[in-house]
């Protein structure tokens, strides 16, 4: 009997010390799904959060626009929370929160059209970002890495004055993945490496963000 009690206590300790932290980590991960700041007060990025995560992000950052770039899910069903099997459509959640909902599809063009042309999702994104009333903006896909990464790079280059090389390094630093973040990846090439920003100069905070951007390997800021 004493042995059973002893092993019960050990099992309880294991659950408390190992299982509970794992569950907590998974809860936080699913709720906020790589929610990160791109430029404070203006642009944020993430994966597909739970409704609870979206509500917190909207309240915390004052988001006015949420851009979903999942081409396979134009209006995804979002779990209410980590603990709830119930879902809500993302567009409906945004309506309840008073936030604009935008869906973009980051498709590719035939290779022979590059670099003279660029994917239509770029112009669609710029139309949203050119409107100051849409800020602050959240860009998200499912994982918050690849599609979110290439469109965040567009913001970096177009509005913060980053070079394609700087945006490319930032994508890697944000988890895009060294094996897929190469010029052989058509998404990387069409959205980042061959992108030509429109003719205008960054000012104010955008210039500061440009000056603090990561430099390509082998370059110095001096």
- In the chain, domain spans: 30-210
Tokens of 136: 């602050």
Helix (H) or strand (E) holding 78: strand 77-81
Q: Are 176 and 82 in contact (CB under 8 A)?
A: no
pTM, two decimals, is 0.80
The residue whose two tokens read 């119930």 is: 86
Which structure tokens are listed for 76? 């995804």
Q: How far apart are CA 143 and CA 133, in angstroms?
A: 27
Is residue 186 pLDDT above 80, yes or no? Answer: yes
Contact 188, 150 (CB under 8 A): yes
The per-residue pLDDT for range 33-43, each reduced to its tens digit, is: 899 999 999 99
Confidence of residue 204 (pLDDT cuts 50, 70, 90): very low
Distance CA 171, CA 164 (A): 10
pLDDT at 17: 52
Q: How many CB atoms sit inside 10 A of residue 172's CB?
A: 15
Q: What percent of the chain has pLDDT over 70?
A: 76
Q: How confident is the model over 47-69, as pLDDT tens digits?
A: 999 999 999 999 999 999 999 99
Class of 30-210 in CATH: alpha beta
204: left (phi over 0), alpha (psi -120 to 50) or beta: left
Q: Residue 210: its pLDDT value, please?
A: 46
Q: On the CB side of 104, how many CA atoms lie within 13 Å of its CA?
A: 26
The confidence band for 8, taking pLDDT boundaries of 50, 70 and 90, is low
């Amino acid at each position: 009997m004493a042995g059973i009690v002893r092993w019960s206590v050990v099992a309880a300790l294991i659950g408390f010390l190992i299982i509970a932290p794992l569950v907590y980590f998974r809860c936080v991960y699913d709720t906020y799904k790589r929610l990160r700041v791109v430029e404070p007060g203006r642009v944020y990025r993430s994966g597909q959060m739970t409704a609870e995560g979206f509500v917190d992000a909207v309240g915390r950052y004052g988001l006015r626009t949420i851009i979903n770039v999942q081409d396979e899910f134009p209006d995804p069903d979002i779990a209410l929370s980590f603990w709830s099997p119930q879902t809500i459509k993302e567009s409906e959640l945004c309506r309840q929160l008073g936030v604009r909902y935008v869906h973009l599809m980051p498709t590719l063009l035939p290779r022979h059209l590059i670099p003279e042309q660029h994917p239509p999702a770029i112009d669609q994104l710029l139309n949203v970002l050119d409107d100051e009333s849409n800020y602050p903006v959240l860009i998200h896909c499912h994982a918050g890495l690849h599609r979110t990464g290439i469109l965040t790079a567009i913001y970096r280059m177009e509005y913060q004055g980053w070079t394609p090389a700087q945006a490319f390094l930032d994508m890697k630093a944000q988890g895009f993945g060294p094996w897929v973040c190469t010029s052989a990846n058509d998404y990387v090439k069409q959205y980042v490496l061959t992108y030509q920003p429109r003719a205008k100069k960054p000012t104010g905070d955008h210039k500061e963000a440009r000056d603090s951007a990561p430099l390509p390997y082998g370059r110095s800021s001096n």
